[in-house]
Structures are given as structure tokens and as C-alpha cells.
Structure 1
Amino acid sequence: MANAYGGPVRLVLFDVDGVLTDGTLHIGAEGEVIKSFNAKDGVAVALLKAHGIRCGIVSGKASAALDYRVRQLKLDLAVTGCHDKLAAYADLKRELGLNDEQIVFVGDDVIDLPVMQQVSLSYAPADAHALVRNRATHVTRANGGQGVAREVAEHLLQLGGLDLEDAYAPLLAEWCCHDAQQ
């Protein structure tokens, strides 16, 4: 099956801490940061990409662990150490020639609100800050770091007219071609 997704979304941007992780930072004596990511979210990236939807992160923090995960998942875009997410969003939108209706943002904390209010479709994890949950278009059942991206990917593809069988068909038929990392 070719890309059967019929929705307008062409890019999904994720915050990292509190969305792709539970927000916990493990910091060693030498200052190295260790983050725990959920394998379900790696499949979500492969799923979205299989339907022609780019994936990226916009994170307030930068770390070697995050850089490794970005490379592992072959994310299309990564903005890290970003304190003005709205400016980063505007730059990405302009560089990619996209409009607000074509971009989804997933955030969990108040720093994410300006971008979430700009896009037409936004998601927040179940344990996001109350202001973020109240302003998000959708709130996931999953908490941050517990498969939020997977839930967003499936919901988004269903909004685009696919049932779960059709959504996963490209991955199941050609898993090796998508080089999915969990």
C-alpha cells in the first residue's frame, strides 16, 4: 500500500523532556545526562515517516543522550538547547514551506504553549501541566515517556482516514525498508 494517509499534516514536532521521556534527568558525577526513552515512540516515528510525515524535536535542553536518540531514530529535524520555541517553530515553518495546519506540536509544559497555540493541532501528555492540558487540542491517555508519540501517531493517522490495520500496513509489509528503531 502506498501512502494512504489523507490528512493535511506533514510534520510532527515533539518536545522531549516530559513528552518523549518522563522528565527525569539522571546526571552522573561527570555531568553526563542519561535519559530514558520509550521504545513505542521509536515505532511511532517510523510509522509517521512511512506515511510521508516528517518528525522532529524542539527541546529546551541539549545533551549527548538526546543527540544519540535523534540519530538513532533518524529524525528529520532537531532543535536542541532552544529557549524560544516559537522563534524556532517560525524558522522551521519558513524553511520547510509549511503552514500552521500542516504542523502538529506535542508539548507538556508552559514553555510549549506559544507553539501549541500557533498550530491548529496540538497534543499534551496526560500528566502535562494543567495549562497545557487545557489548551491542547488533544490530551493523550499516556503520561510523558510512556508512549505519547505512539498514541499521537495512531490518532493522527486515524484522523487522516486510516484504521490501525491500514496505518501499520506499510511498516509490516516493508519493515526493513523503514529501518525503524525502537
Structure 2
Amino acid sequence: MSTATTSTWYGEVSTSLLTRMKSIKLLICDVDGVFSDGRIYLGNHGEELKAFNTRDGFGVKALLNNGIQVAVITGRTSHIVEQRMQALGVQDIHQGTLEKGAVYQQLAAKYQLNDAQIASIGDDVPDVALLNQASVGVAPHDAHPWVQQQADYVTSLGGGCGAVRELSDLILLSQGKLQLQGGVSL
């Protein structure tokens, strides 16, 4: 039995997955390995550096501009993450979170959403519970292999290399809100 697919810029995507994406009103993201490539650069004076992709930033802004909330839940705590997410307009920034499921429930209650209205993207074992609970669970192309097996969709792009933008585009495409003009890379 073959599964119906839809052709996108990112390759063939299950039509049933795109149908589920039509209902998404909240995207919950991990940070390291999703917004970044997972590497952390430490300087000689204790400074921490991470690289963020402007395409991912554009995708986040596009979601927010179309009434889709974006939240981050990450196990690490970093001033850089706070700065970057605030610059993008993300209001729900949860760092140092070991129990991501509890924050997921708080966000669902805050926005009065059920699982069918939530998507999640993560790259490693601590993210799997959220991927399984959300209607759409996504793993970046370079996520841990077991996490990829748990996901509904594996992006064609890696973490920190446009994976969030890919997911944002697919959500907006499914909802008929994808716009290909205007805007600024962030």
C-alpha cells in the first residue's frame, strides 16, 4: 500500500502529514541541535558561542506573523538563547528544563490547545516524549537515528542549517499562508 505524497521544495511529504499540519497553532522547539548545529564554542575567558541560521529566524517570524505561536524548551541555560529568541519575538522561552513534558502541558493550557494543534521539533532523547505527544513530531536530518525513527517527519536540512525554516514553510504551506515575498532575514 503506497502513501499519498505531495511534492514540496524539500522533497515528497506525506499528504496526511500536511493535513495534520493544517491545525498547528503552536510549534515547540528544542534549541541545541535544532536552532544550532549542536556545537557549543567555549572561549578562553568562559564565553559561550553558538551559531544561529537566519533562515530559521525568518521561519519563526513568518509563523508568528501568521498567528502561530513558537516556544522553546531546552535543557541548557544560555544568555545567547534568551537574546536570540527575544530578538525573534518568541515569548515562551523555557531554559534549564529537565522535564519538558510539564512545560508542554503548561503551554497547551496557556494557549488552550490540544495535542492536535501542536507540533514539536527535537534532535535527541530528551525530546522524544514531546515528539510523540504532539500531533506532528519532527526531527532534523542530523538528529539521533532513534529520534528520527520516532518522528513523523525528518527534515531534509540539519539542525542549525534551516531545519526550523523547513518545518515553518511546510506548516505555512499546509495552511495556505506561505508567502514568498517581502520580509527581512533575521
Deviations 1:76-135 (A, max 9, x none): 311111111111111211222111111110000010001111111011101101111011
Fraction of identical pairs, as percent: 34
Report if aligned partners of 1:72, 1:181 keep a CA contact under 8 Å in 2.
no
The alignment partner of 1:21 has SS state of: coil
Mapping of residues 127-166 of structure 1, within 5 Å: 127-160=142-175, 162=176
State the Cα RMSD in Å.
1.6
Which structure ranks higher in relative contact order (CA pairs < 8 Å, sequence separation ≥ 6)? Answer: 1
Instruction: From 55, 58, 62, give the equivalent of 2:70.
Output: 55
Distance between the aligned counterparts of 2:45 and 2:101, measured in 1?
32
Instruction: From 16, 19, 28, give the equivalent of 2:31.
Output: 16
Output the TM-score relative to the length of structure 1: 0.86
Q: Which runs of 5+ in 1 are unaligned?
A: 1-5
Instruction: From 120, 126, 133, give the equivalent of 1:111.
Output: 126
Instruction: From 108, 127, 146, give the equivalent of 1:93.
Output: 108
**Superposed displacement of residue 181, structure 1:** 5.5
The structure where helix makes up a greater share of residues is 1
Instruction: From 22, 36, 44, give the equivalent of 1:7.
Output: 22
Deviations 1:124-164 (A, max 9, x none): 1011011110111111000110001110011112222x2xx
Report if aligned partners of 1:13, 1:56 keep a CA contact under 8 Å in 2.
yes
Distance between the aligned counterparts of 2:86 and 2:110, measured in 1?
21
* Corresponding position of 1:168: 179
Report if aligned partners of 2:61, 2:89 keep a CA contact under 8 Å in 1.
no
Report if aligned partners of 1:11, 1:103 keep a CA contact under 8 Å in 2.
yes
Q: Which runs of 5+ in 2 are unaligned?
A: 1-20
Report if aligned partners of 2:30, 2:72 keep a CA contact under 8 Å in 1.
yes
Report if aligned partners of 1:33, 1:64 keep a CA contact under 8 Å in 2.
no
Q: What residue identity is the alignment partner of 1:168?
A: Q
Could you list the structure 1 runs, at least 4 aligned residues long, displaced by more than 6 angstroms after superposition: none
Output the TM-score relative to the length of structure 2: 0.84
* Corresponding position of 1:3: none
Report if aligned partners of 1:140, 1:152 keep a CA contact under 8 Å in 2.
yes
